[in-house]
Amino acid sequence: MNSIFEAYSKFPRADCGYCGNPSCITALRRYCSGEMPLDKCLFFRTGAFDPGLIHYPAARDSPSKPGISYINPCPSDAKMVTVEVSLASGMHAKHGYYDMISLDRIFGRFIPSLKVSPSLGIARIEHDGRAIMAFKEGRMLIRRALGEEDAFMQLSRAMRQLWAAVN
């Protein structure tokens, strides 16, 4: 069992750029998609870190098909409408839909309500009690929307905030 987080935790996380990538996360992504051998990293090459522990993170069960669906996770919280949207397409299968590193490094700081976790592949925006979560594979969740119309409002707003991080 290896999550991308677990793999990342085994990276040097020095962000030194020696391997030609701007950060260890980018290096991890390129390693995972088979584009970078680990010995490009000086830390791994010199044996300071043990690459034997790193596996490619297991593919997710079922990448959600593009489309929109409504879920109501808790029947006793009737006020809550949760809308799930999947923007994923075959094109993004390799690197995912959102580039969470760019999102974190470049855009995160301009949107105070935006929190990004490149290691988990999740971005979260919370305001007015509503939460929007964007997952790197292109899934977005709008939780606690007031109804369908509100959900679409939230969605288009979030998509505008995150557009520049689309791969």
Q: Compare residues 32 and 159 and give the one whose CB is closer to ligand SF4.
A: 32
Closest to another protein by CB, 41 or 100: 100
Phi/psi at 89 (5° precision): -140, 165
Contacting residues for 115 by C-beta, under 8 A, at least 6 apart: 108, 123, 124, 125, 126
Kindly write out the interface string for residues 103-142 of this chain, putting x where it contacts another protein by CB under 8 A and - elsewhere: ------------xxx-xxxxxx------x-x-x---x-x-
Q: Which of residues 18-47 bind ligand SF4 (CB under 6 A)?
A: 18-19, 21, 23-24, 27, 41-43
The structure tokens listed for 125 are 């925006």
Q: Residue 145 belongs to what H/E stretch? A: strand 139-145
**Do residues 162 and 151 touch, judged by C-beta distance below 8 A?**
no
Do residues 100 and 116 lie in contact, with contact meaning Cβ atoms separated by under 8 Å? Answer: yes
Q: Between 51 and 84, whose beta carbon lies closer to another protein?
A: 84
Stretch that binds another protein, among 2-10, 23-31, 44-52, 159-167 (CB under 8 A): 2-10
> Residue 59 binds which one of another protein, ligand SF4, none, with CB within 5 to 8 A depending on kind?
another protein
Asked whether position 6 contacts another protein by CB under 8 A, the answer is: yes
Q: Of 9, 33, 69, 156, which one interacts with another protein (CB under 8 A)?
A: 9
Q: Between residues 27 and 151, which has the closer beta carbon with respect to ligand SF4?
A: 27
**What is the 3 state secondary structure string of 44-101?**
HHCCCCCHHHCCCCCCCCCCCCCEEEEECCCCCCCCCEEEEEECCCHHHCCCCCECHH
Counting contacts by CB under 8 A, is residue 149 touching another protein?
Answer: no
Window contacting another protein (CB under 8 A); options: 12-20, 24-32, 45-53, 71-79: 71-79
In eight-state DSSP terms, residue 122 is E
